[in-house]
Amino acid sequence: MGIKLKTRKPTGVVPWPLILIEGEEGSGKTYSAAEFSASKRIGQMYWVDLAEGSADEYAAIPGADYEIIDHDGTYRDILEQIRAVYLEARRAAAAGEPPVVLSVDSGTSLWRMLKTWTSERARRGKSNSQRLQEDPDAAIDVGMNLWNDATERWMEVIHLLQTFPGIAIITARGKQITAIDEGGNPVKDNRGRVLREWKVQAQKDLAFDCSVWVRMRRGRVPQVIKARSLQLRVEDRKPLDLPDFSIEDLVFNRLGCSVDSQPRQMPALVGDRVQAWLNDNDVEDLRDVEKLRELWWDAAADDAGLTRNEVVSIRAAIERKVAELENPRTEMGQGPVSDAERLRAAVERGDEEGDEEPDDDPDPDRRPVRKAPAKRAAAKRTTKRTTAKPAAARS
């Protein structure tokens, strides 16, 4: 069957924005977000306070009405709570209710947490830990794979905000710093003066990923630096001053959002479907070997929509998980940890089982290993599968 073309007509509807509000300390970033919760044009606001500590006090602002997300400070809990708000916003949108608002205060703290996590992982690495044992003040090497992991976690949050079925706000700190070239040296002008540039203190792509970028500075008029909008045009290198700035005015008057607005249609871009499939089926957290065996077969089902290479990768991951469950570490420093040790352990268990007399009759209550569906059984296989079972399907 040939490839079917998939298209749709554009809606022309103004999407809900992801607003970045960044600037100096004490410039009113958090205050403006709390003030927005008093608007009669929005539904419930949910506030994610990340090491800023202003959420409780700012509830005293006249008319302020928001719920504080209760999290334990870990990335996993923060992500789960943001997903929960996402689902609530989608329910409210489907019911025709006013838009839910999610405020994350701040992106700076979230990225700092991920940087700390990256540094801690690097310190725990074999080469760095040995180096620190010899010299506690030694510099450590942080591998690019660790930074990629941190960026991936960051993007999980940002993608939820970009596609949020309502209004999303994220704050960040911003300040002027010395401009640095690729070699790490200060950039100077023709007169030898060191140049300065403005930096948003968060992951480097935050300003690009947001649809509206607002800068606030003490004693100055708030400015719109960027707006991805046909309604609000900002000229290149000419920020738009907003003397009477409010988020309500920005969203509903200047951007033109309304009850008809929709989230941006932005499917997550992935190289393949392996990790998404593993995550959707909770393979990493599963402890049930029988369930893992079922998933081993499910990966190749026609309705899974996976390519052959994706099925091979998924099955390999499941087999590794089963091997870990069947060969757990018994005590610290013990237990099979290498492939050779696992093989020896399996042989030893086989020898022990071989010393026992086999049962004359099979156990009728024993659950058989799930067999492949008939449509996948075209490959030549005998009825005796005991010598050709995959690692995840061994009983």
Cα–Cα distance, 142 to 124 (Å, whole number): 11
Instruction: Give pLDDT, residue 361.
Output: 47
Q: Which two tokens stand for residue 334?
A: 């013990």
> Which whole-number Å values give the CA distances from 198 to 178, 190, 387, in the listed order?
9, 20, 66
Which phi and psi angles does 48 have, rounded to 5°? -105, 105
Supply the angle between the helices 289-298 and 308-326 in degrees, to the nearest 10: 170
Instruction: Give pLDDT, residue 306.
Output: 87
Centroid of chain to Cα 323: 28
Instruction: Give pLDDT, residue 139.
Output: 86
Q: Report helix, strand or coil for 223.
A: strand
H helix runs in 2-143, sequence order: 29-36, 75-94, 107-124, 126-134
Which phi and psi angles does 251 have, rounded to 5°? -75, -50
8 Å CB contact between 102 and 84 = no
Cα–Cα distance, 328 to 148 (Å, whole number): 29
DSSP type of residue 249: I
Q: Chunk the chain into consecutive blocks of 10 residues (it has 395) and report each block's average pLDDT, rounded to whole numbers.
A: 82 91 90 94 94 88 93 93 95 92 94 94 88 87 90 94 94 86 79 82 92 92 92 87 92 89 76 84 87 90 86 90 80 56 60 50 46 46 45 46
Cα–Cα distance, 58 to 44 (Å, whole number): 16
Instruction: Give pLDDT, residue 65.
Output: 93
Instruction: Give pLDDT, residue 352.
Output: 55
Instruction: Give pLDDT, residue 385.
Output: 46
Give strand pairing partners of 197: 177
Q: Report helix, strand or coil for 197.
A: strand
Which phi and psi angles does 186 have, rounded to 5°? -60, 140
Cα–Cα distance, 38 to 62 (Å, whole number): 8
Instruction: Give pLDDT, residue 23.
Output: 92
Supply the angle between the helices 107-124 and 144-162 in degrees, to the nearest 10: 150
Instruction: Give pLDDT, residue 186.
Output: 82
Tell me, yes or no, if the pTM score tops 0.95. Answer: no
Q: Report helix, strand or coil for 224.
A: strand
Cα–Cα distance, 282 to 209 (Å, whole number): 29
Q: Which two tokens stand for residue 280?
A: 């959707």
Instruction: Give pLDDT, residue 395.
Output: 43
Contact residues for 255 (Cβ-Cβ < 8 A; gap 6+): 14, 17, 212, 227, 229, 231, 232
Which phi and psi angles does 92 have, rounded to 5°? -65, -40
Cβ-in-10-Å burial (0-12, 13-18, 19+) of 158 comes to buried
